[in-house]
Amino acid sequence: MAADTPTRLRFAVLGAGAIGTWIGAALAESGADVTLVARGAHLDALVRDGARLVSADGERTVPVRAVQDTGQVGPVDVVILAVKVHDVVAAGPALQGLLGPDTTVVAAQNGVPYWQFHGRADDGASTRLESIDPGGAVSALLPPERILGCVVYLGASILAPGVVATRPEAGLILGEPDGTSSPRLEQVARALEHAGFPVRRTADIRAEIWTKLMGNASINLVSVLTRAGLGTMVNDAGTGPIVATLMREVVEIAGAAGARPQISVDERLRITARLGDHKSSTLQDLEAGKRLELDALGAAVIEVADAVGVAAPMLRAVYALADLQARTLGLR
């Protein structure tokens, strides 16, 4: 096999929204065997017209295979799981149709992973996070051994059914939860690189997840209350210190849970300050009337804080306010 030719894997993208459609279309364009699982008008457009990807460099249309019923696909080698954490249980029947004995599931999701404490020898190792694994339903459906961790730094939004605006950022970070360098990690990473995505392998995927949570568990929650852009919140004399305090609390929780974020709070604030009116994904969901990701971005972070003995008073207060706002709007 040539060094730059990835092993051919059968992929399915479950939850082909903006990010999932982009990843699936790029894999298809690179010659991978991939099926997008979608529904509604978006599915109809993908079947009829293909995936239309719009970027600063122009636009292109990629023919894709898209279905709603995973029974038409059967077991695959790799599932890109792009549904939100709170939708995993509802997606269970569709997911089961894609799983064979050795299927790898790439969890391309925001927030604390349900497998945060799985296989860890440190304090809280047996803790199940009720907010994101209610009654153990997720871990029963998806044993953590199947998981390949993934942190997504890509910007995408659906402009119309079948049409996705893409904004390349840092790319994708992949890692085994146990920190090993496995054949499946390398095979998936090479396939995604072949599809045009920057991919970084890591031996500490939890650290990378908590690095992203520094923003998600602070800026995203505050955006529910302020409806302001990222840079606006950080630069504001009133909300800027609140965001900074939230980030410091997240770093403290992460450290107590055995994960060390890969960036300082000051640097994370400087990066965010340059983003102006760019809206958090949670604010975009709020404006679209979609259920908010407060379980994975807030409640689960607080559960981890409880498990490792961190007070996190600002996080608890801001989460309570954001949660009430979401429930008042019917978005919980």
Q: Which residues are catalytic?
A: 212
Cα 220-95-183 angle, rounded to 5 deg = 85
Q: CB burial class (10 A; 0-12, 13-18, 19+) of residue 331?
A: middle
Annotate 238-267 with three-state secondary structure: CHHHHHHHHHHHHHHHHHHCCCCCCCCHHH
DSSP-based three-state secondary structure for 231: helix
Cβ proximity of 123 and 308 under 8 Å: yes
DSSP 28-56: HHTT-EEEEE--HHHHHHHHHH-EEEEET
- φ, ψ (nearest 5 deg) of residue 143: -55, 135
CA–CA dist 211, 262 (Å, integer)? 6
Helical pair 18-29 and 183-194, crossing angle rounded to 10 deg:
80
Is the separation of the CB atoms in 52 and 31 below 8 Å? no
For residues 37 and 67, is the Cβ–Cβ distance under 8 A? yes
Helix axes of 205-215 and 239-256: crossing angle, nearest 10 degrees: 160
Write the single-letter amino acid at 286: L
